[in-house]
C-alpha cells in the first residue's frame, strides 16, 4: 500500500493551520523536511499531518514551540517513546498545577467581587461606609474598612 502524499496546501488544511505555519514549523525542525518532486514541490505524508496535529494540540495546552521542539528532538534517542512520555507527563503536571493555581486565584477574585455586589445591592447607605453603621453591618466580617473599636 502506497503512502499518501499531500502537497503543502492539503497538509495545512488537514491540520487546520496556514501554509505559512507549516513552513515555519518545518524551518524550526518541528516537522521533518518533506520529500520534494523534481520541480521542488513539497510532498507530505499522513505522519506529517499527525505531527502537525500533535504540535497544534500541545500549543493549545500552552506548550511553547521550544518545549515542543525539545520533546520532538528526544525521539532521536528514544525509540521506545518512554523518555518523551515521561517528559510530557512532567510538563502536563506542571501545566496542570499552574492552571489549578490560576483557577483558585480566579475563584477568590469571583468571591470578592460577588461580595461587593451583594454589599452594594443590600441597600446599606453607601455614603456612611465606613462609619458608625459598621457596628451593625452584616458585611463587617469581610469588610476591609471595618475596624472593631475594641482592637
40-44: list long-range contacts, CB under 8 Å, 24+ apart.
41/7, 42/7, 42/8, 43/5, 43/6, 43/7, 44/5, 44/6, 44/7, 44/8, 44/10, 44/11
| Residue 6's pLDDT band (cuts 50, 70, 90) | confident
Domains of the chain: 8-124 (1.10.1660.10)
H or E stretch covering 9: helix 8-15
Average pLDDT value for the chain: 85
Query: Which of the pair, 37 or 103, is modelled with greater confidence?
Result: 103
Give burial (CB, 10 Å; 0-12/13-18/19+) of 129: middle
Q: For the segment 110-127, what is each residue's pLDDT rounded down to a tens digit?
A: 998 998 888 778 767 666
Confidence of residue 140 (pLDDT cuts 50, 70, 90): low
Nearest to 68 by CA among 18, 16, 21, 20: 21
The answer to whether the beta carbons of residues 9 and 22 sit under 8 Å apart is no
Q: What's the distance, CA 27 to chain centroid?
A: 24
**Residues 1-17, mean pLDDT to the nearest whole number:** 85
Q: What are the CA-CA distances from residue 28 to residues 33, 62, 88 (Å)?
A: 10, 18, 20
pLDDT in tens, 69-101: 998 888 888 888 899 999 999 999 999 999 999
Predicted local distance difference test score (pLDDT) of residue 115: 82
pTM of the model: 0.69
Cell numbers at residue 127, please? 455614603
Round to whole Å and give the CA distance between 46 and 10: 11
The answer to whether 1 and 43 are in contact (CB under 8 A) is no
The answer, yes or no, to whether residue 10 has pLDDT greater than 90, is yes
Amino acid at each position: 500500500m502506497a503512502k499518501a502524499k499531500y502537497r503543502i496546501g492539503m497538509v495545512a488544511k488537514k491540520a487546520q493551520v496556514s501554509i505559512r505555519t507549516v513552513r515555519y514549523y518545518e524551518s524550526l525542525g518541528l516537522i521533518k523536511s518533506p520529500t520534494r518532486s523534481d520541480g521542488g514541490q513539497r510532498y507530505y505524508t499522513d505522519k506529517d499531518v499527525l505531527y502537525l496535529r500533535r504540535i497544534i494540540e500541545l500549543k493549545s495546552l500552552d506548550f511553547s514551540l521550544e518545549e515542543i521542539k525539545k520533546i520532538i528532538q528526544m525521539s532521536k534517542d528514544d525509540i521506545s517513546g518512554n523518555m518523551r512520555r515521561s517528559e510530557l507527563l512532567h510538563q502536563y503536571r506542571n501545566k496542570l498545577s499552574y492552571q489549578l493555581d490560576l483557577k483558585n486565584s480566579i475563584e477568590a477574585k469571583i468571591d470578592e467581587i460577588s461580595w461587593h455586589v451583594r454589599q452594594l445591592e443590600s441597600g446599606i447607605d453607601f455614603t456612611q461606609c465606613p462609619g458608625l453603621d459598621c457596628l451593625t453591618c452584616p458585611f463587617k466580617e469581610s469588610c476591609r474598612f471595618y475596624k472593631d473599636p475594641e482592637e
